[in-house]
């Protein structure tokens, strides 16, 4: 595409708009608003993860309780051990069974200790999350309004610049302006830049053949940064 003074003028005025956009984006109000917004967007997932963890801990507690009751029942079966031995029961078998129960109870003690710690940690995490969620809800509401005020304070400036851009843009072919705006939305700026010492402003070297293609006011796209490059 050929370079035009209108396109260069458009970019110069657009730089004024971009400066305002950057100042608004860098404002403390926007930072606080975005921080709270991002937190609120993921709060649901975090709460769901906590619910899942709580269900897992509950299931584990129920399993240990059930097993504990089974062991107690088994132990109660040995209440009449003397009679069982007198009736010809194998005392070695009974000893082995008791030892197995003792070892399992010892293991359960460790599992219960860990489960108790996990439950306490889960409770603390839930309290922390709840407190943080309440805080972020307040921050979101407060800084949403403050961010609107920041944008509103610059609205007249933005409108004036936008009107100038619209007026200049009327003299630029629509397809060229559309390509410019696509790159602008991709955060490429400046969109149009002069070739300097055979290089793009991104540092990309242009071959002799490519430089020749810039003659007559033509513009080509940099293969590296995708800017429109022209020769002054």
- 149-191: pLDDT as tens digits: 999 999 999 999 999 999 999 999 999 999 999 999 999 999 9
Confirm whether 99 is domain-assigned: yes
Q: Which residue has the tokens 């410019």?
A: 180
**67 assigned to some structural domain:** yes
Q: What is the mean pLDDT of residues 199-205?
A: 93
Q: Is residue 175 part of a domain?
A: no
Instruction: Give the domain range for residue 46.
Output: 28-167
Q: Is residue 160 part of a domain?
A: yes
Among 66, 82, 86, CA closest to 74:
66
To the question of pTM greater than 0.75 for the whole model, the response is no
Rounded distance between C-alpha atoms, residue 133 and residue 144, angstroms: 16
Taking only the tens place, the pLDDT of each residue in 64-122 is 888 878 877 776 766 555 555 555 555 666 567 767 877 877 787 788 878 888 888 88
DSSP string, 51-76: HHHHHHHHHHHHHHHHHHHHHHHHHH
195 domain residue, yes or no = no
Number of domains in the chain: 1
């Amino acid at each position: 595409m050929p370079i035009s003074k209108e396109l260069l003028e458009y970019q110069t005025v657009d730089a004024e708009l971009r400066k305002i956009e950057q100042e608004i984006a860098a404002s403390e109000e926007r930072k606080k608003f975005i921080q709270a917004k991002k937190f609120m967007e993921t709060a649901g997932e975090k709460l769901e993860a906590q619910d899942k963890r709580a269900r897992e801990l509950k299931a584990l507690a129920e399993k240990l309780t059930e097993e504990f009751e089974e062991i107690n029942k088994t132990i109660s079966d040995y209440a009449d051990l003397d009679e069982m031995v007198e009736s010809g029961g194998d005392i070695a078998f009974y000893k082995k069974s008791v030892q197995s129960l003792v070892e399992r109870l010892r293991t359960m003690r460790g599992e219960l200790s860990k489960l108790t710690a996990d439950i306490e940690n889960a409770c603390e995490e839930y309290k922390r999350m709840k407190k943080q969620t309440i805080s972020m809800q307040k921050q979101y509401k407060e800084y949403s309004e403050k961010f609107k005020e920041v944008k509103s304070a610059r609205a007249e400036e933005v409108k004036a610049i936008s009107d100038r851009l619209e007026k200049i843009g009327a003299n630029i072919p629509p397809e060229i302006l559309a390509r410019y705006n696509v790159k602008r939305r991709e955060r490429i700026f400046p969109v149009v830049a002069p070739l300097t010492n055979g290089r793009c402003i991104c540092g990309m070297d242009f071959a002799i053949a490519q430089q020749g293609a810039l003659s007559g006011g033509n513009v080509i796209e940099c293969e590296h940064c995708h800017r429109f490059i022209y020769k002054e």
